[in-house]
């Protein structure tokens, strides 16, 4: 399995190179060249670790079975998650169930990926980085930051710098980040919002002079945001796991489709559900749930992505985002993997603050996704 860039379809990287790099040199996001099919029956009656390995081995073909097993066990066993059950499903009654993603060490759903990514990263560095140290730059609206800091704390051959908006994270998350232990961690508050932090990180990634200076000192950039395929890949697992748990519990029949309603900011979590569907998971619709910053709701309804709007600081700060980076991956897949078209749309977004997709791409989005939002009163 090789990986290409949303802005350069000719590029080919191994999984280790993709994870070690985090983002493509020209600013595109790395995606698998094909999406493997899996048999949902293979997930039934299995612990979460086995379900994770079933997904990961399809994408990490340059990793040995022993390497994948070691990474998964290090992430999801040994008491890091309550009862070694990372993602339990609770049936609320009727046709509604809740996938609980807060049982990790920082209480954030990002733990599901960020307990695994450091182990994938170190294995990737051994394969692809020739002894270099990974300098991991991460922008956060709260939950990614603490989960990444905790996950990479004192991991060999890594340094991590987290940027967060001074007034754009919860008090608990700020306390978690600013009291983080570890010899290789750094936390920086910025003036602005999450989009400012994310834009700044992307600009640093694209700075040839900075990259050259790092290389001269035996270092390279990578990312713990979901722009890194190694952050997004583990999130595919819990969609299959949730479905298998419902079948195991007799709540649905194998093959019966289910809908997933996903609180959505940077579009990584819900995109993992889309990848799961392409791999064979019986998904009906993916419901994109936004807060008052409803840029995704408007896009899915109209095909116009427009960040030129008021930014709201809400009671759900992890979703206070106006530039949803992972949407680029979805659009790449749905527009026929036309990297020139994606580059043009992203250029428009960067220069004018908006872009409009073509009718065929919008129809493909709406076939799979439905969107709505909650204002602050509804959230409360």
Residues belonging to the active site = 110
Distance CA 268, CA 326 (A): 5
Query: DSSP character for 375?
Result: -
User: CB neighbours of 203 closer than 8 A, spacing ≥ 6?
Assistant: none
E strands of the chain, at which residues? 3-5, 8-13, 30-32, 89-93, 96-99, 133-139, 158-165, 185-190, 219-223, 258-263, 283-290, 304-306, 354-356, 369-373
Strand order of the sheet with strand 258-263? Answer: 258-263, 283-290, 369-373
Asked if residues 102 and 46 have their Cβ atoms less than 8 Å apart, the reply is no
Distance CA 114, CA 104 (A): 10
User: CB neighbours of 82 closer than 8 A, spacing ≥ 6?
Assistant: 103
Q: What is the CA radius of gyration of the chain?
A: 19
Largest distance between two CA atoms of the chain: 60
């Amino acid at each position: 399995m090789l990986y290409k860039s949303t802005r350069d379809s000719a590029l080919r990287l191994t999984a280790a190179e993709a994870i070690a790099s985090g983002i493509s040199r020209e600013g595109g996001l790395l995606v698998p060249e094909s999406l493997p099919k899996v048999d949902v029956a293979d997930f039934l009656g299995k612990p979460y670790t086995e379900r994770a390995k079933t997904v990961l081995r399809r994408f990490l073909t340059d990793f040995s079975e022993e390497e994948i097993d070691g990474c998964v066990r290090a992430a999801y066993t040994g008491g890091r998650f309550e009862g070694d059950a990372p993602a339990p499903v609770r049936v609320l009654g009727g046709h509604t169930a809740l996938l609980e993603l807060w049982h990790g060490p920082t209480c954030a759903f990002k733990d599901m990926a960020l307990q695994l990514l450091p182990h994938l990263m170190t294995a990737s560095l051994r394969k692809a980085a020739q002894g270099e140290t990974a300098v991991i730059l991460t922008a956060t609206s709260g939950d990614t930051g603490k989960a990444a800091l905790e996950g990479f704390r004192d991991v060999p051959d890594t340094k991590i710098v987290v940027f967060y908006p001074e007034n754009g994270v919860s008090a608990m998350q700020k306390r978690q980040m600013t009291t983080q232990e570890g010899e290789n961690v750094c936390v920086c508050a910025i003036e602005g919002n999450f989009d400012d932090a994310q834009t700044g990180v992307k600009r640093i990634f694209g700075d040839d002079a900075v990259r050259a200076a790092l290389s001269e000192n035996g270092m390279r950039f990578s990312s713990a945001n979901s722009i890194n395929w190694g952050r997004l890949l583990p999130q595919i697992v819990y969609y299959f796991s949730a479905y298998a748990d419902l079948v195991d519990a007799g709540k649905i029949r194998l093959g019966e489709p289910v809908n997933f309603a996903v609180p959505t900011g940077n579009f990584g979590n819900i995109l993992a559900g889309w990848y799961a569907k392409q791999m064979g998971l019986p998904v009906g619709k993916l419901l994109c749930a936004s807060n008052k910053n409803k840029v995704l709701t408007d896009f899915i309804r109209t095909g116009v992505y427009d960040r030129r709007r008021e930014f709201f600081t809400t009671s759900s700060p992890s979703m206070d985002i106006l530039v949803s980076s992972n949407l680029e991956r979805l659009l790449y897949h749905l527009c026929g993997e036309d990297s020139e078209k994606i580059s043009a749309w992203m250029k428009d977004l960067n220069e004018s603050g908006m872009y409009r997709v073509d009718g065929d791409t919008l129809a493909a989005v709406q076939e799979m996704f439905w969107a709505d939002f909650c204002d602050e009163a509804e959230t409360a």
